Structure 1
Amino acid sequence: MIKRTSYLQKIHPFIGLDLVKVLTGIRRSGKSVMFSLIMDELREQGIPQEHIISLNFENFENNHLCTAEKLHTYVSDMIVDSKDKYYLFFDEIQEVERWEKCVNSLRVKYDCDIYITGSNAKLLSGELATYLAGRYVEITIYPFSFAEFCDLYLERNPQASTPEIFNQYIRFGGMPFLTNLNFLPDPSKQYLQDVFNSVVLKDVVSRNNIRDTALLDKIITYVMANIGRTFSATGISKYFKNENQIVSPETILNYLQACEDAFLLFSFHRQDLIGKKILTVNDKYYMADHGIREAVYGKNERDINQVLENIVAIELLRRGWKVTIGKIDSLEIDFVCEKQEMKQYIQVAYLLASQETIDREFGSLEKIPDNYPKYVISMDEFDMSRNGITHMNLRNFLLQSE
């Protein structure tokens, strides 16, 4: 089991504090493993096992606890001495009816340190914000980064080179369980297809009462084909109209939002870098894991430009950047990244194989009228930096410390 150090570092400052630690992310991204890592650390610190209460609500054995009242009673019975600190770990808490009332009551009644996971962004909306206002911290868990993928792959293939490993990463993506399948093509593809189906069925269809699953499938397929390209719900609606199917933009937006709530997709808004405003049309969408795209849609090698952009997009989110798409005049900046007082601009390309490509990628950045760091990232091995704009090899970028 790999220690996901970057996430542990984010969680460490909050351990023991009266803040509910909420781990969110797509199913099978490693949230349960994070629980195991945290519990291991607690035991190493001398916390007795009987003070660690862990429940996974996807386990049918815990089905009888899936209401706020029954869960509250169960945990209260487990807390023998209310003066001692207890550590509560609730996995896939959204399966519990009115769970937020239970969690808030336990937090108020006992000296307990609470950790929960969920596979839907709506976990943190509505009543939770009311009951736990200012009393929770959210950490999104993403599939393996390329750096994590490298560590695991090298354990089994110590002679593999970085370029070889990256080719495998493009093909398989970063869903953690694949290491148990030794990255065998057919079992890995089957597993990723099953993950996709599980996310769509449990976290998109069921939670949003979607009846037209055929339409949902078409919309997801459209997004997969157009990863990293700007489009609008109206544009998708026109596309379907040309296919003799009438679908309103509002319905498309609702379906896309449901996929975002399930952490299957992430949308990036566009920002006018001159007018300093967020544009409300033509977002870009990226997938949480490009390996799922390969398993379900295919064509990752053919669409290498889009896939590399997807990899960088998720890596930037993983590193905690707030990301938008930049627009300056008629030109586009792939990623405008902001974090606290920091800011950077990034262009992503497969290869800077022609002067036209070089001028396009660097030229967009050269038009930005500020002095924040600017990067062009590509698969090229040699440094092509110019005019204060740094060129980086994409693999090196993914392997650098955050």
Structure 2
Amino acid sequence: MKRNTTPVYYGDYLQLDKLLGAQSLESAKYGEPAHDEMLFIIVHQVYELWFKQVLHELNAVIDTFIPDQVKDQQLIGVVHRLNRIIQIQQLMNDQISVMETMTPQQFLSFRDLLVPASGFQSIQFKRLEISLGLKREYRIDFDKQSFYNRLTDDDRSLLEALEEKPSLFELIERWLERLPLLKMDNFDFWQHYQNATDELLNQDKQTIETNATLSEKEKQQELKDWQSTRENFDALFNAKRYDALQSEGKFRLNQKAMLSALFIKQYSEEPIFNLPFQVITALTEIDEKLTIWRYRHAMMVQRMLGTKIGTGGSSGHQYLKKTTESNRIFSDFFNMATFLLPKDMLPPLPDEISRYLGFYLSADKTK
């Protein structure tokens, strides 16, 4: 174990002179300093520090998934880092409550002095979004147009280069594609699954048709929704239909990755699928926490500005509200609940399949 040869002083180690001297109030340049501008600055500086830590963890996870082979032992570290990100996200979400102790009028006392600075210009947050998988083509129209408009040339070049690298979403998709789909001589899970879903969906249809509490109009709407669900199920095993729904934005994962993730979720209690399931669950929660952050941010902006535009020129609350649902990354993992079967409808895995998968998941045999 290494030991230091010279004493370390707390303030020097943390560079507190730099850190605590980095709050320069813009309002002080024009007269009496606005008291709440200090809070505004510190809250956003803390966000940036947490963004730095999240990127540190996220980049390590991405590096793990870049090779063609990912061992079970590596997934333990991945899950640990993803769970750390989740805890940091929770802190960031809670931090909005601190910002909300500032009233709209207190914010207005310095707000107009910040134009055109904006959260749009947080390079670390943009790096975080891109690295997770929210690249330009997946953004809402306003975001596509403005994404790079307010940045310096150096920052723009950095983000454009990052867009060309594989995101975590893309790497997870490739990882899922490499997992087996369990169609062997003596066991065809997907045929069993199709038979079971046909039975389940037919029961659902009969329930709707025989429900005396529904009006004819309500019944027709329920049947229309049922038909849409039926088509989504059918598309899982029809490449052409799946690709069509994917092009419409119904799915983002490709068909093979979707089926692999679905299988992992169906057999999540099997030891051999425990770590992959934890990875999927953690990514789902990261997406959820990010969505909550966007929503709370949108509500805070509405509370502070009402319908005023943001300092960066966006429509403020309305823009942020749109990004809450539109800028999702792992929504397929949420929607996968649609396709899950009850445990009592699942076939048990034969012993030879369990042994095969135990080896398969710890060493890449796809080539």
Please indicate the TM-score interval, normalised by the length of the shorter structure. under 0.3
- RCO (CA 8 Å, sep 6+): is it higher in 1 or 2? 2
Return the structure number with greater helix share: 2
Return the structure number with greater strand share: 1
